[in-house]
Amino acid sequence: MRLMYTECAACVLLLLLVVVYFPAKPPSPPSLTASMERTNYLHGIKGLFKHKRFLVILVAYSVPTGVFGGLGAALDMVLDGVGVSQYQAGWIGFYATVGGCAAALLMSRIADQFLRHMKMMLLFLFVSGTAACLWLVLLRMSYIPVNLWSLYLSNILMGVFIYASIPLFFELGCEASYPIAEGVTVGVLTIANNVTGVIFLSVMQIPKIGVVWMPWATLGSAAVGIPLLLLFKENYTRTDIDTQRIIVPEPDPYRATSINTNTKVG
């Protein structure tokens, strides 16, 4: 309980700092496309759900990350069947989350250096993440010898590969849905992730369902992302404008400027 109060106080402090310090916008636009007119929020949300390429990203992102997040919330119950205490399960989940955060920062930097290769990076992460999920399933079902270090490593690798995909999905989703505003796109992706996690955890309300199904569901959710990514067609219109592969008139900072990039929403 004391930890929760401490976290709450930290969140309130950060909120106050944001309100007091951060301006509504920077002195100049961070990119060329940031200064251009975008679809408004209501039309943007409607457009996203008519956008087939974005819907592929939506499912490929929200299902694996939402399910893995739900697994972390119930990890102590899942690993109880192989003799892991709640205390040990807590540390396993902690290191998986920390490893995932570090990997996400690293992948963000790598993606900056290798533009237009995010699909390939995501495929690598998901193939590797699926392998890590399979390892956990084999351990949990006692198909292979179980030891604490194997459980630690399998869960940490799951966190590393699945969570490292999040910034790439956000970026690829924004590229796919351009010119819809990034805030709308990322907001819808985040909501879908949370809804998936709620549905996953709600299944536990079914009487006598147990927890053995959870590692299997996590494995299936990670594997689902692979064919979806293979079917996804990359398009970097926003990046092409920002890097001047598509030439547009230079706008005044934050002055709404309409452009025609022959890009359709949907």
User: What pLDDT sits at residue 132?
Assistant: 94
Whole-prediction pTM: 0.78
Give dist(CA 259, CA 237) in Å, integer. 12
Tell me the fold of 38-239.
Answer: Growth Hormone; Chain: A; (1.20.1250)
> In the chain, which residue ranges form alpha helices assigned H by DSSP?
2-21, 41-48, 52-73, 75-80, 86-113, 118-140, 148-163, 166-177, 182-202, 213-231, 237-242
Mention every residue, 6+ apart, whose C-beta is less than 8 A from residue 45.
184, 188
What's the pLDDT tens digit per position in 31-72? 777 766 667 677 778 888 888 888 999 999 999 999 999 998
Tell how far CA 234 is from the center of its chain: 18
Mention every residue, 6+ apart, whose C-beta is less than 8 A from residue 191.
none
Percent of the chain with pLDDT over 70: 88
Only one residue has tokens 């399960």, namely 89
> Which has more pLDDT, 41 or 6?
6
**Quick check: 233 pLDDT over 90?**
no
Give the pLDDT band of residue 251 (cuts 50, 70, 90). Answer: very low
Domain ranges within the chain, ordered by starting residue: 38-239
Give dist(CA 169, CA 175) in Å, integer. 10
Q: Is the CB of residue 248 less than 8 Å from the CB of residue 32?
A: yes
DSSP 8-state assignment for residue 31: S
